[in-house]
């Protein structure tokens, strides 16, 4: 069985962008692949986190994985920090990476722009991400478009290790949706929808109540035309809403275009909102049930044990090939 690994940071509310770009594919792939899904808390602390908020968000993201449809009996769901092999292989990958290639990472450039002091963890973040993936010899990594560059670096590091020390790591492939790989902000379609945007009207959080979702979508910026047409270059706002709609309804892009021909944006925006509400309401109900059940700790313990068992032989072999004396 081919392997899949992905992770999401517990740094703030998850958005519809995370869901469409990544989590929906997690759910899909679990039926055909051996899957590992992590809450990457060690990545989250590359920027300052308030400890109580980090703890709460970590549990919330784990519960959202399960609420979104990941079956913990099928897939291993765990906290990155619960499997110490990540930190260990992360260090080895750091030693294999070059300043120049890390400096080119756009996520680093964005997150460090204008900051007076920038943590070194933010800089070496992609080496830890490479370790996350390579530890399990993942074949496919479901992510949104913004992670493509990190995946490229992971492939380079895997190849570098294999060439220098001996064949060990599988070279992973990104698994990115064709439509919806980059869900954009509702107030500015040139920026990706992000939980770190200070304007909450710019994103839909997975836990936003239905009326908030309706309000945010009715206020979503659109162009001054009236044609519902998927054309990301010339109509980025409408195309973004079409991406959201098709993912939340399973109505194809072509069918959506045909359905609203000659009708303007009003009815379309209302229907997008109802589709999003219909998708998120059951997820929110499951989320509340899981949080109340007090079962998350058990899922995470089971997931971490499975992950640790899968990761241990790879870490040991990486150390052996690099010339470490094994205990």
Q: Decide: residue 211, CB within 10 A, 0-12 exposed, 13-18 middle, 19+ buried.
A: exposed
Residue 183 interacting entry, from ligand TRP, ligand AMP, none, C-beta within 5 to 8 Å by type: ligand AMP
215 is catalytic: no
CA distance 91 to 124: 9
Name the token pair of 218.
């009715």
Figure out which of the listed residues 150, 155, 192, 214 binds ligand AMP, where binding follows CB under 6 A.
Answer: 192
Write each residue from 5 to 34 as x if it is in contact with ligand AMP (CB under 6 A), else as -, in one continuous string: ---xx-------xx-xxx------------
- C-beta of residue 296 within 8 angstroms of C-beta of residue 241: no
Radius of gyration for the alpha carbons in the chain, expressed in angstroms and rounded: 20
DSSP bridge partners of 35: 4
111 is catalytic: yes
Please identify, using beta-carbon distances, which residue of 192 and 214 lies nearer to ligand TRP.
192
CA distance 262 to 129: 47
CB 18 → ligand AMP: shortest distance, Å? Answer: 4
Write each residue from 119 to 158 as x if it is in contact with ligand TRP (CB under 6 A), else as -, in one continuous string: ----------x--xx-------x-x---x--x--------
CB 42 → ligand AMP: shortest distance, Å? Answer: 12
192 is catalytic: yes
CB 258 → ligand AMP: shortest distance, Å? Answer: 26
Cβ atoms within 10 Å, residue 255: 12
- C-beta of residue 150 within 8 angstroms of C-beta of residue 109: no
The residues annotated with a catalytic role in the active site are: 111, 192, 195
Q: Which residues bind ligand AMP (CB under 6 A)?
A: 8-9, 17-18, 20-22, 143-144, 146-147, 181-183, 192-193
């Amino acid at each position: 069985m081919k392997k899949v690994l992905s992770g999401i940071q517990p740094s703030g509310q998850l958005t519809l962008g995370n869901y469409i770009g990544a989590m929906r594919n997690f759910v899909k792939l679990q039926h055909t692949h051996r899957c590992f899904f992590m809450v990457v808390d060690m990545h989250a602390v590359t920027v300052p986190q308030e400890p109580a908020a980090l703890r709460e968000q970590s549990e919330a993201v784990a519960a959202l994985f399960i609420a979104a449809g990941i079956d913990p009996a099928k897939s291993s769901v765990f906290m990155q920090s619960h499997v110490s092999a990540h930190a260990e292989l992360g260090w080895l990958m750091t030693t294999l990476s070059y300043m120049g290639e890390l400096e080119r990472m756009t996520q680093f450039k964005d997150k460090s722009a204008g900051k007076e002091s920038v943590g070194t963890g933010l800089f070496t973040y992609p080496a830890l991400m490479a370790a996350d993936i390579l530890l399990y010899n993942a074949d496919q990594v479901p992510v949104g478009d913004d992670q493509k560059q990190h995946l490229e670096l992971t492939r380079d590091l895997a190849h570098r290790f294999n060439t220098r020390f001996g064949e060990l790591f599988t070279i992973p492939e990104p698994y990115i949706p064709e439509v919806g790989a980059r869900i954009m902000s509702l107030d500015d379609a040139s920026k990706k929808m992000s939980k770190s945007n200070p304007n909450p009207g710019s994103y839909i959080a997975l836990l936003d109540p239905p009326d908030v979702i309706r309000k945010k979508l009715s206020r979503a910026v659109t162009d001054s035309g009236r044609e519902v047409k998927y054309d990301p270059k010339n109509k980025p706002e409408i195309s973004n809403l079409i991406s959201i709609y098709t993912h939340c309804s399973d109505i194809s892009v072509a069918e959506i275009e045909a359905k609203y021909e000659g009708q303007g944006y009003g009815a379309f925006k209302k229907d997008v909102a109802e589709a999003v509400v219909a998708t998120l309401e059951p997820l929110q109900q499951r989320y509340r049930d899981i949080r109340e059940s007090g079962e998350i700790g058990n899922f995470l313990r089971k997931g971490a044990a499975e992950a640790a068992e899968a990761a241990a032989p790879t870490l040991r072999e990486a150390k052996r090939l690099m010339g470490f004396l094994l205990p």
